[in-house]
Amino acid sequence: MTRWLPHLFVLFLASVPLWMTDNYILHILITTGIFIIAAMSLNLLLGYTGQLSLGHVAFFGIGAYASALLSLGFEAHIAPGLLVKVLPKPVWFAMLGGIASAAVCGYAIGKLAFRVRGAYFVIVSISFAEVVRLVALNWVELTQGPMALNNIPALKLGAAGLELSFLKKPMVYTLVLAVAVLSYVLIRRLVQSRAGRAMIALRENESLATSVGIDVTAYLVLATVVASAIAGAAGALYAHYVRIVDPDIFLFIYTVTMVIMVVTGGKGTLAGPIVGGVLFGLLPESLRAMAMPPEVQWIAYGVLMVLVVYFLPRGIVPAINERWGAGEATASPLRNLVVAAKARS
């Protein structure tokens, strides 16, 4: 029975546009879905490699900006005297471009930032996101700065005669759900592969992992590239859904939202970001229903984050698993092995 539960859940989610006619609820589901995709990708870094990356919103924003710019076309001076001109591209191509740009940035920043660990890595990742925001704000020729990129086209697939337009909410919802399922499957394959075991090993004990021949930095960079590509995909979905992108997309508060989703749900579990994402995707809406100013929402986030660390340090999903005895990745034999080795050393 439990085997089929995820499939039934996805089927149920897929059926939502068939009977849900309220556009506002669909909108909440779409934004929650986009955030869940981003949170799942962050979980790969935070949960499986154990690196607290606090610049994740940068990859989300880079995906959004790159995809929007490719679909709109742009002209910009890359260097003095070097003018790059790009004509508008089809949206599906632009979205792939957005994903690729985020992945390339992930590779570069991974190579650089994984020279250090712990507190240093955290600070470097935050400053990276901050600089990307400053570039988006100041490179007006390319990004329009605070004036934002407007009129971003929605996704259209297929040739003339049989066209699928992703302008209406039910279609966007289906697309987001498809990307979310795809990302989930991709992350699960990765985590359960040899590379995934290497990541968990280095999370548990980096020196031990190195000593048995695991190229720690290579796996950290791999995880960063995959995570940033998926975050870029979420950003591209976002850009072509709300159809306007401004530098506020890089605000630190969005990284915090992703982190709190992952930590509350349970980092290092596949279901964790989904549980946390649903919770924190719907919480702001209920707060808004009570007519609270937005600051109250963020204060609630901050306080909740502290409370979760105190009372549910490993998150909701591991707590449920412990109570009902269903083991997930947290109780893998490899982990026990590593823990045993750690205890001996």
| Closest distance of CB 217 from other proteins, Å | 10
**Which CB sits closer to other proteins, 225 or 308?**
308
**Which CB sits closer to other proteins, 132 or 152?**
132
The number of residues in the chain equals 345
**Which CB sits closer to other proteins, 17 or 318?**
318
| Tokens 């399922």 -> residue | 181
- Binding region for other proteins (CB under 8 A): 50, 52, 54, 112-113, 115-120, 122-124, 126-128, 130-131, 134-135, 137-138, 206-207, 252-253, 256, 259, 263, 293, 295-296, 298-299, 301-306, 309-310, 313
165 forms beta bridges with: 156
Q: How many CA atoms lie within 13 A of 167 on its CB side?
A: 7
**Which CB sits closer to other proteins, 191 or 308?**
308
Q: What angle do CA 84, 86, 87 make, to 5 degrees?
A: 150
Q: Let me know: does 34 contact 173? Beta carbons within 8 Å.
A: no
Burial class of residue 92 in the structure, from the number of CB atoms within 10 Å of its CB (0-12 exposed, 13-18 middle, 19+ buried) = middle
| Closest distance of CB 170 from other proteins, Å | 34
Residue 73 φ/ψ, nearest 5 degrees: 80, 150
| Closest distance of CB 52 from other proteins, Å | 5
Element (H, E) at 59: helix 56-72
| Closest distance of CB 23 from other proteins, Å | 30
**Which CB sits closer to other proteins, 5 or 306?**
306
Report the SS3 class of residue 240: helix
| Closest distance of CB 275 from other proteins, Å | 17
Q: Which amino acid is at 104?
A: V
C-alpha to C-alpha distance for 51 and 55, rounded to whole angstroms: 11
**Which CB sits closer to other proteins, 174 or 205?**
205
| Closest distance of CB 160 from other proteins, Å | 44
